[in-house]
Amino acid sequence: MTTENGSLTNHEVTVCLAGGAVLGPYNATWSQNEGGDVRELVREYDAFLQGEKQRRFKFHLHDTYTLTVHTLILNFEQVTGICDHVRLKSPARAG
């Protein structure tokens, strides 16, 4: 969940490959101000499934909590699915 003030969204990304292998899950964060390709990965894969040619192969998933970057180099022809699990903030509770 991204708020208007640019706060981070928290993603857990898992990539399923042909033959049954699984990459991840990878923790990743994204905001307007922080880098990372988590949203672009999902958009690019969705476009590929819609018949577009794959344009990108390398994606960087930034985890700002552990200060790590996961680099994924993927051939979408070998990907059977991508799960992007987004952790939303819980709604404020009335007092």
Q: Would you say 41 and 48 are in contact if contact means Cβ atoms under 8 Å apart?
A: no
Q: Cα separation of 17 and 55, whole Å?
A: 19
Count structural domains, the chain. 1
At 19, is the secondary structure helix, strand, or coil?
Answer: coil
pLDDT, tens only, 56-73: 999 999 888 888 999 999
Residue 14 lies inside a defined structural domain of this protein? yes
CA 78 to chain centre: 17
Residue 3 lies inside a defined structural domain of this protein? no
Q: Cα separation of 10 and 84, whole Å?
A: 10
Q: Which of 26, 48, 51 is nearest to 37 (CA)?
A: 26
Whether the per-residue pLDDT at 92 is higher than 70: the answer is no
Per-residue confidence (pLDDT) for residue 5, from 0 to 100 = 44
Per-residue confidence (pLDDT) for residue 95, from 0 to 100 = 55
pLDDT, tens only, 15-57: 999 999 999 999 998 776 666 788 899 999 999 999 999 999 9
Range of the domain at 72: 9-87
